[in-house]
Amino acid sequence: MQQNKEEFLAKVNAVSKNTLMETLNIEIVDFGDDFLVARMPVTSKVHQPDGVLHGGATAALAESVGSFASHIFTDIEKYFVRGLEVTANHLKSVKDGFVYAKATFLHKGRTTQLLDIRVTDDNDNLISICRLSTITLPKKK
């Protein structure tokens, strides 16, 4: 199972080449039946001018992991996923290390999904609470 998990993570992360996820160094690091976890390094690339993690980078992390979760749990041969709305409540500042975003489903419908995304730091402190709604649409033939 560990081998399959490692192969799956490598495949998932390879899809992120030449995207915002690669630009922000966002990496999918864990998954389960109903969750997906990504991490992003907190460096000057994602700081606001006073040297702490930018809320927009946190929102990008949240939307990336949530959309990816909806994508993974959808029949990607027939459907594609788009984000509808993302909200973020920022609770604590971070200057360095990593932040981790864990996306879990609150609602997993055929057409719409709602995800809760909790962003924590290396010490498991809660940094932000985010919500993402996504829509699953059929691919045109």
φ/ψ of 130, rounded to 5, equals -125, 155
Tokens encoding 119: 């962003």
Give the residue carrying structure tokens 């971070």: 94
Task: Write the CB contacts of 24 (distance below 8 Å, at least 6 apart in sequence).
Answer: 40, 45, 46, 57, 60, 61, 64
Q: Residue 72: how many CB atoms within 10 A of its CB?
A: 15
Q: Which of 6, 22, 63, 85 is catalytic?
A: 63
Catalytic residue list contains 63: yes
SS (H, E, C) 11-59: HHHHCCCCCHHHHCCCEEEEECCCEEEEEEECCHHHECCCCCECHHHHH
Active site residues: 63
